């Protein structure tokens, strides 16, 4: 007897088995599954195996929007199964390729259904469509699925005043299955338990009968689920260039003014679900006018049904914000890149301080909501010109007294408040700063003055205010590919690499985001970026290739 | 001061540690070298418990052996709420006693299979595992209907009360560590949800092999320091 096909929809749980903050363990056709409902209601059906060390995810922790493996605390995002945090590499953003195997899930008739293989539509059960559905107690049978199916009551055998159950079988393994019964009518509240008990009793009698038959049959060989080799790179917190990721189309589901001169966009997927979000990440938005702009995602970890970005109107800018404000409307389509994260959030800090200037709130809001969901201590300081300039004020209200609003301060007042907010540095305290250049410079200067070490001060600039001197020429040698190339005056390393067929992912191309960073093996870089801090600059072992250059005649890169 | 003759890896000792933590009762743990020393079988220990097993509880001059008896004593004596061992509710008390006897069954099957697998006890492990599955089936159905009766707002415990009793604690570690004895809980979803509820009790403590679950609600976000 051949096993039931993988390319079909089967129930794997009752809807209430995916209980709040619980991870349900199931098995389908020899494959173990972890079934969990996130706080946004989404039901996840995943391979029951952490791809790090293979531990069952069903013994892990449902943290609301992320599932945390019990063994080494790797966190995986609701919906996509992508890794959002690796405690052993707290400062790194996990590569996008670290993603658990997920299966499609849908809820019908009070049951959770999945399909292991193939792109097949769920076939609705006519009898249960339109009317009510009342799921009975699911019963595991220690008997082959086909044998059980043959013995299930046909027609009206189990009928009664409360209706006729419709039966579904979850083939667990060659010698095990779970039977789900669904009634077409929901009984009156005072009859509920009696109806459930009556049907449970009948199904148990049937089980006793079928298990007795099964015990006389030769035991079938267990089904062996094909497992794919987990794709965990050796360099798990590797730089962004090691991951691909393609553009995808999204639709503007909502556009609204979230603060004076700031418009927020809610971007919904069209074809494919949106990729995994890590707090601090940004996307490239390809505008209909042909230009590309970077915007931080405000979504906290695991909350990624739709992306939310905010765009400040910058009349003096290159025109991207004006275009988004004036030309892009609800219902319009945009093309975006997969998220990249060069502003990763550590979740091992004793205290985290977030300092936002104006529109700089966007990545910090995603961090704040992630920390709040994790129950980790933080304070979010928002500096704005006026109360009207506070973005996402409802979400800020939701964070309660973890948010401190500083309104209408001049530069000196801002610096004084930042000094107060930071206080003396203590071990395992971290600060994240995002805002306009002058404010960010001031915050970094203050932190340095009061003794905060570089590794505890994390920042992200919107733009690079530096004048880039491109007047010198030098040679680059690519250690891994064996190429030696000439970088002439007026051209960037990135441009020369691209012209010679060396693909490197970039984003802002002005030395702010850090996407195109490369390791330096030998040589003496001149840093023109605003991504590296002073310690990293002095180390001279990394270079932002879109703007920085070489003081030595030759630069050896790890490419 | 209460003294518990104790062994870290023993489910029966853990039941006492758990209840004393839940009741916020101070005690002193005296480690017994159960494995590999077999200290509980020594002549010296047999003066404390002639049966040669742990746990043994000493409270002043009072000496008590047998895990489930000790649970009864501790709850009756140290739980001012009267919930853990509800002596003033005969029907509920009868039910608690019934499930305490059921727990003898889970200990003698599921936890015995664990002794076979972990410490090499020479038991007929297939019979023990089959016995544990029979009991788990009964308990899973019982807890499933308890959940249905309690509804979404009322947590369901082993005995028909809106709060846990010593019966929950007597069964809990046998269930929670069953996989160490080769007994899967795949077929028992209501049993697994109940283990989440036990692990979310205030002052719950762990033992090796028993892991935490996530909080039902996120903890406090704002940090105490640094607010202005």
Q: A436 and A317: one domain?
A: yes
Structure tokens given for A281 = 């990440």
B144/A378 Cβ within 8 A: no
A64/B214 Cβ within 8 A: yes
Please indicate whether residue B141 or residue A317 has the higher confidence score (pLDDT).
B141
Looking up residue A287, the CATH number of its domain turns out to be 2.40.30.10
Measured distance CA(B49)–CA(B41) in Å, rounded: 9
Structural domain for A510, as ranges: 474-557
Mean pLDDT for A215-224 is 94
A192/B186 Cβ within 8 A: no
CA A549 to chain centre: 34
Q: A36 and A9: one domain?
A: yes
pLDDT at residue A290 in the model: 81
Mean pLDDT for B33-56 is 96
pLDDT at B227 over 50: no
Structure tokens given for A240 = 């962004």
Instruction: Give A141's strand partners.
Output: A177
Q: A277 and A312: one domain?
A: yes
Nearest to A357 by CA among A513, A462, A507: A462
pLDDT at B66 over 60: yes
Instruction: Give A554's strand partners.
Output: A475
Residue A229 lies in a domain: no
For chain A, the first-to-last Cα distance in angstroms comes to 54
pLDDT at residue A227 in the model: 76
Residue A467 lies in a domain: no
Nearest to A266 by CA among A252, A286, A249, A250: A252
Measured distance CA(B166)–CA(B170) in Å, rounded: 6
B214/A61 Cβ within 8 A: yes
Total structural domains within chain B: 2
A371/B225 Cβ within 8 A: no
Report the C-alpha dihedral over residues B105, B22, A348, A67, rounded to 10 degrees. 40
pLDDT at B68 over 50: yes
Residue B74 lies in a domain: yes
pLDDT at residue A239 in the model: 44
Q: A197 and A271: one domain?
A: no
Measured distance CA(A177)–CA(A147) in Å, rounded: 10
* Burial of residue A499, with CB atoms counted within 10 A of its CB: 0-12 exposed, 13-18 middle, 19 or more buried: exposed
> Which of A430, A462, A494 lies at the terminal end of a domain, its last residue?
A462
pLDDT at residue B207 in the model: 97
**DSSP code string of A136-169:** ---EEESS-HHHHHHHSPPTTTT-BTTB--EEEE
Q: B41 and B141: one domain?
A: no
A377/B221 Cβ within 8 A: yes
Confidence band, pLDDT 50/70/90 cuts, at residue A230: low
Q: A355 and A480: one domain?
A: no
Bin A30: left if φ > 0, else alpha if -120 < ψ < 50, else beta. left
In order of A38, A501, B54, B57, the CA distances from B5 in angstroms are 43, 72, 7, 6
In order of A105, A207, A246, the CA distances from A270 in angstroms are 18, 46, 14
Report the C-alpha dihedral over residues A297, A301, A304, A307, rounded to 10 degrees. -10
* Burial of residue A469, with CB atoms counted within 10 A of its CB: 0-12 exposed, 13-18 middle, 19 or more buried: exposed
A353/B148 Cβ within 8 A: no
Instruction: Give A46's strand partners.
Output: A34, A102
Per-chain mean pLDDT for chain B: 94
> Which of A72, A101, A123 lies at the terminal end of a domain, its last residue?
A123
Mean pLDDT for A44-51 is 95
Measured distance CA(A96)–CA(B142) in Å, rounded: 44
CB of A77 closer than 8 Å to CB of A302: yes
- The complex's ipTM works out to 0.93
Nearest to A162 by CA among A208, A129, A197: A197
pLDDT at residue B225 in the model: 32
Looking up residue B113, the CATH number of its domain turns out to be 1.20.1050.10
pLDDT digit string (tens) for A319-329? Answer: 789 999 999 99
pLDDT at B71 over 90: yes
Confidence band, pLDDT 50/70/90 cuts, at residue A261: very high
CB of B132 closer than 8 Å to CB of B117: no
Measured distance CA(A117)–CA(A114) in Å, rounded: 9
Instruction: Give A13's strand partners.
Output: A112
CB of A515 closer than 8 Å to CB of A240: yes
Q: Which of A21, A192, A377 has the CB atom closest to B216's CB atom?
A: A21
CB of A337 closer than 8 Å to CB of A283: yes
Residue B154 Cα, gap to closest chain A Cα (Å): 14
Residue B212 lies in a domain: no
Size of chain A in residues: 559
- Outline where DSSP puts E strands in A1-147: 9-14, 23-28, 31-37, 43-47, 61-62, 66-68, 75-77, 83-85, 102-103, 105-108, 111-115, 134-135, 139-141
CB of A23 closer than 8 Å to CB of A36: yes
Report the SS3 class of residue B196: helix
Nearest to B143 by CA among B113, B206, B99, B180: B99
Structure tokens given for A86 = 């690796």
CB of A106 closer than 8 Å to CB of A125: no
Structure tokens given for B206 = 């762990």
pLDDT at A106 over 70: yes
Q: A354 and A448: one domain?
A: yes
Q: B99 and B58: one domain?
A: no
pLDDT at residue A355 in the model: 98
Per-chain mean pLDDT for chain A: 92
Q: B71 and B96: one domain?
A: no
Q: B74 and B95: one domain?
A: no
Q: B119 and B53: one domain?
A: no
Nearest to A552 by CA among A473, A492, A490: A473
Cis peptide before B55 (omega within 30 of 0): yes
CB of B65 closer than 8 Å to CB of B55: yes
Chain A residue numbers with beta carbons less than 8 Å from the beta carbon of B214 are 21, 61-64, 68
pLDDT at residue A159 in the model: 62
A151-178 per-residue burial string, b: 16 or more CB within 10 A, e: under 16: bbeeeeebeeebbbbbbbbbbbbbbbbb
Q: Which of B187, B192, B228 has the CB atom closest to A140's CB atom?
A: B187
CB of A276 closer than 8 Å to CB of A304: yes
Q: Does A372 touch chain B (CB under 8 A)?
A: yes
pLDDT at residue B3 in the model: 98
Measured distance CA(B55)–CA(B58) in Å, rounded: 10
For chain B, the first-to-last Cα distance in angstroms comes to 46
pLDDT at residue A245 in the model: 62
Searching chain A, which residue's CA lies closest to the CA of residue B146? A193
Q: A346 and A219: one domain?
A: no
Structure tokens given for A243 = 């991951």
Q: B158 and B94: one domain?
A: yes
Residue A382 Cα, gap to closest chain B Cα (Å): 12
Query: What proportion of chain A, given as a percentage, has pLDDT over 90?
Result: 83
Q: A66 and A139: one domain?
A: no
A17 φ/ψ angles, rounded to the nearest 5 degrees: -70, -30
Mean pLDDT for A90-108 is 92
Q: B67 and B125: one domain?
A: no
pLDDT at B138 over 70: yes
Chain A residue numbers with beta carbons less than 8 Å from the beta carbon of B216 are 20-21
B218/A373 Cβ within 8 A: yes
Taking every pair of C-alpha atoms in chain B, what is the biggest distance, in angstroms? Answer: 66
Chain A residue numbers with beta carbons less than 8 Å from the beta carbon of B186 are 25-27, 32, 140, 172
pLDDT at A240 over 60: no
Nearest to A435 by CA among A463, A455, A454: A463
Q: A480 and A421: one domain?
A: no
CB of A391 closer than 8 Å to CB of A359: yes
A375/B221 Cβ within 8 A: yes
Mean pLDDT for A377-400 is 97
Total structural domains within chain A: 4
Q: Which of B148, B220, B224 has the CB atom closest to A375's CB atom?
A: B220
A193/B149 Cβ within 8 A: yes
Mean pLDDT for A159-163 is 69
Q: A449 and A334: one domain?
A: yes
Residue A293 lies in a domain: yes
CA B75 to chain centre: 13
Looking up residue B9, the CATH number of its domain turns out to be 3.40.30.10
Residue B20 lies in a domain: yes
Residue B205 lies in a domain: no
Q: Range with the lowest mean pLDDT among A232-236, A247-251, A341-345, A503-507?
A: A232-236
Q: Which of B192, B193, B223 has the CB atom closest to A351's CB atom?
A: B223
pLDDT at A416 over 80: yes
A70/B222 Cβ within 8 A: no
pLDDT at A234 over 60: no
> Around Cβ B121, how many Cβ atoms within 10 Å?
13
Residue A468 lies in a domain: no
Residue A306 Cα, gap to closest chain B Cα (Å): 23
pLDDT at residue B223 in the model: 42
pLDDT digit string (tens) for A464-500? Answer: 988 899 999 999 999 998 899 999 999 999 999 999 9
Residue A208 lies in a domain: yes
> Which of A65, A95, A123 lies at the terminal end of a domain, its last residue?
A123
Q: Does B149 touch chain A (CB under 8 A)?
A: yes
Residue A32 Cα, gap to closest chain B Cα (Å): 9
């Amino acid at each position: 007897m051949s096993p039931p096909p993988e390319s079909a929809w089967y129930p794997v749980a009752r809807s209430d088995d995916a209980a709040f903050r619980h991870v349900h363990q199931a098995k389908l056709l020899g494959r173990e599954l972890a079934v969990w409902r996130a706080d946004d209601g989404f039901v996840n059906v995943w391979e029951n195996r952490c791809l790090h060390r293979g531990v069952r995810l069903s013994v892990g922790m449902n943290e609301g929007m992320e599932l945390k493996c019990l063994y080494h605390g790797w966190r995986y995002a609701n919906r996509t199964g992508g890794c959002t945090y690796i405690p052993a590499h707290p400062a790194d953003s996990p590569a996008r390729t670290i993603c658990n195997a997920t299966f499609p899930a849908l809820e019908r008739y009070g049951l959770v259904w999945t399909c292991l293989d193939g792109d097949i539509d769920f076939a609705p059960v006519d009898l249960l469509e339109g009317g009510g559905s009342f799921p009975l107690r699911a019963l595991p049978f220690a008997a082959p699925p086909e044998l059980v199916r043959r013995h299930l009551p046909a027609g009206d055998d189990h009928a009664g005043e409360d209706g006729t159950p419709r039966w579904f079988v979850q083939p667990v393994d060659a010698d095990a299955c779970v039977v789900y019964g669904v009634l077409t009518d929901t009984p009156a509240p005072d009859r509920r338990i009696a109806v459930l008990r009556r049907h449970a009793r009948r199904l148990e009698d049937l089980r006793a009968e079928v298990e007795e038959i099964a015990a006389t049959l030769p035991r079938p060989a267990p089904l062996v689920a094909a497992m794919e080799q987990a794709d965990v790179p050796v360099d798990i917190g590797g730089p962004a260039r090691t991951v691909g990721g393609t553009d995808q189309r999204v639709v503007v589901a909502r556009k609204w003014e979230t603060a004076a001169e700031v418009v927020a966009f809610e971007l919904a997927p069209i074809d494919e679900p949106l990729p995994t979000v890590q707090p601090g990440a940004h996307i490239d938005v390809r505008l209909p006018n042909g230009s590309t702009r970077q915007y931080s995602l405000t979504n906290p970890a695991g909350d990624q049904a739709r992306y939310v970005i905010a765009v400040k109107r910058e009349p003096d800018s290159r025109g991207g914000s004006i275009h988004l404000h004036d030309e892009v409307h609800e219902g319009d389509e945009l093309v975006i890149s997969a998220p990249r994260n060069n502003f990763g959030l550590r979740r091992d800090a004793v205290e985290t301080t977030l300092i936002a200037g104006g529109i700089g709130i966007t990545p910090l809001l995603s961090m704040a909501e992630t920390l709040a969901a994790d129950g980790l201590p933080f304070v979010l300081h928002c500096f704005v010109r006026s109360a009207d300039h506070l973005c996402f004020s409802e979400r800020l209200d939701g964070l309660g007294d973890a948010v401190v609003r500083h309104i209408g301060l001049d530069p000196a007042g801002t610096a004084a408040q930042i000094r107060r907010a930071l206080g003396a540095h203590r071990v395992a305290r971290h600060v994240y700063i995002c805002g306009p250049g002058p404010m960010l410079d001031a915050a970094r200067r203050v932190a340095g003055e009061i003794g905060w070490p570089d590794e505890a001060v994390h920042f992200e600039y919107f733009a690079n205010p530096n004048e880039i001197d491109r007047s010198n020429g030098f040679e680059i040698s690519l250690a891994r590919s064996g190429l030696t190339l000439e970088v002439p005056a007026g051209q960037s390393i990135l441009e020369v690499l691209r012209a010679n067929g060396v693909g490197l992912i970039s984003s802002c191309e002005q030395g702010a985001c850090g996407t195109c960073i490369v390791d330096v093996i030998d040589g003496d870089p001149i840093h023109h970026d605003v991504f590296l801090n002073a310690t990293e600059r002095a180390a001279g072992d990394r270079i932002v290739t879109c703007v920085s250059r070489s003081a030595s005649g030759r630069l050896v890169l790890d490419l | 001061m209460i003294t518990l003759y104790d062994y870290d890896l023993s489910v029966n000792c853990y039941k006492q540690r758990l209840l004393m933590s839940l009741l916020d009762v101070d005690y002193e743990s005296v480690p017994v070298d159960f494995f590999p020393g077999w200290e509980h079988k020594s002549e010296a220990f047999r003066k404390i418990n002639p049966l040669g097993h742990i746990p043994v509880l000493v409270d002043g001059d009072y000496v008590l052996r047998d895990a489930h008896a000790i649970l009864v004593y501790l709850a009756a004596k140290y739980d001012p709420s009267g919930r853990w061992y509800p002596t003033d509710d005969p029907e509920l008390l009868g039910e608690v006693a019934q499930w305490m006897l059921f727990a003898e069954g889970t200990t003698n099957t599921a936890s015995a299979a664990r002794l076979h697998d972990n410490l090499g006890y020479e038991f007929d492990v297939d019979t023990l595992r089959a016995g544990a599955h029979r009991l788990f089936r009964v308990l899973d159905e019982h807890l499933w209907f308890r959940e249905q009766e309690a509804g979404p707002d009322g947590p369901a415990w082993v005995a028909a009360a809106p709060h846990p009793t010593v019966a929950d604690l007597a069964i809990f570690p046998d269930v929670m560590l069953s996989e160490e004895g080769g007994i899967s809980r795949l077929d028992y979803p209501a049993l697994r949800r109940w283990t989440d509820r036990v692990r979310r009790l205030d002052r719950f403590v762990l033992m090796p092999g028993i892991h935490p679950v996530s909080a039902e609600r996120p903890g406090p976000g704002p940090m105490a320091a640094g607010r202005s």
